[in-house]
Amino acid sequence: MRHRRSHVPTEIERKFLVTGTGWRQADGVRFSQGYLCRGEGSTVRVREAGERAFLTIKGPTRGASRAEFEYEIPIADAEQLLKLCDGPVIQKVRHVVVFSGSKWEVDEFLGENTGLIVAEIELEKEAGDATGAATKKAERDQFVFDDLQERVKRYPNDLRLRYELGSVLYENEYLNEAIQQFQLSQRSPKYRLRSLYFLGMSFKKKQQLDMALEQLSAADSELTIMDDTRKELCYEIGLIHEELGDKAKAVECFKKIYQADIGYRDVAQRVEKAYRR
């Protein structure tokens, strides 16, 4: 593996929802990414970016900053690691745009998140320009919250906007605010399942496991075919049962997946281990 940086880096970034289409003039690179671990504010992410792949470890967020370590890995390894990821694999196209002297990364999401477009700006590094970072952070903080609140205020019945806002808030660990948006967006038939999923995952991150189980089970009850969405739900439900100490119910969830897709994540190991007891 090759370490991308020689020092302990700190990432400072802000995210924004996007309107307009001028950014489409920039070339795009297709990304596939998923998370091997998400807990206590730290994450381990595997990402394919065009013909390259990376493993990234991020620490807990402190304001807009978080420690980050990134290693380039073989693309074949990334493909295998993506199959082990916790939650859905996210597909998006990233466009890099230079505007007003700053580099913006505009992500156009695909698949179930089609329609969501998020722009991200990485601010000055804390070690390099603390004053500049603090100034930009204050400006971006004010802008992003004003912008999001204004959009929701302007279109309070736009459930797609509620879902998009919830997704951005969830990604940035604003869990209570995300929950509020997903509670509204679940009214949309198009976004109901994903909203229930993210509601469950938000409660799980808050260690409110009973409510997490209720939301994920509600989503699971609306599906009859063991497709990728239901596998994901069953797996998360199984993990929660396991965390609650109910190993029998956990194994039942993993067995449902096992019977449909023995190669899904680590369900084969979990089920076969249960039979060896």
Model pLDDT for residues 191-230, shown as the tens digit of each residue: 999 999 999 999 999 999 999 999 999 999 999 899 888 9
Q: Cβ distance 13 to 122 under 8 Å?
A: yes
* Residue 150 burial (C-beta neighbours within 10 Å; 0-12, 13-18, 19+): exposed
The one catalytic residue among 35, 170, 191, 197: 35
Is 125 part of any domain? yes
Non-local (6+) Cβ contacts of 23 within 8 A are: 95, 97, 104, 106, 119
pLDDT beyond 80 at 176:
yes
Is 201 part of any domain? no
CA torsion, ordered 147, 182, 168, 231, to nearest 10 deg: -160
* Helix, coil or strand: residue 136: helix
Is 76 part of any domain? yes
Q: What is the pLDDT of residue 228?
A: 87
More confident residue, 173 or 66: 173
Active site residue 35: yes
Q: What is the pLDDT of residue 4?
A: 43
Is 81 part of any domain? yes
Per-residue pLDDT tens for 20-52? 566 667 678 899 999 888 766 678 999 999 889
Q: What is the pLDDT of residue 214?
A: 97
pTM for the full predicted model: 0.54
> Which residues constitute the domain of residue 59?
2-150
Is 84 part of any domain? yes
CATH classification of the domain holding 15: 2.40.320.10
Is 255 part of any domain? no
Is 165 part of any domain? no
Is 218 part of any domain? no
pLDDT beyond 90 at 121:
no
Q: How many domains does the chain have?
A: 1
Using only C-alpha atoms, the chain has a radius of gyration, in whole angstroms, of 20
Q: Cβ distance 260 to 231 under 8 Å?
A: yes
Q: What is the pLDDT of residue 138?
A: 54
How far apart, in whole angstroms, are the C-alpha atoms of residue 70 and residue 42? 14
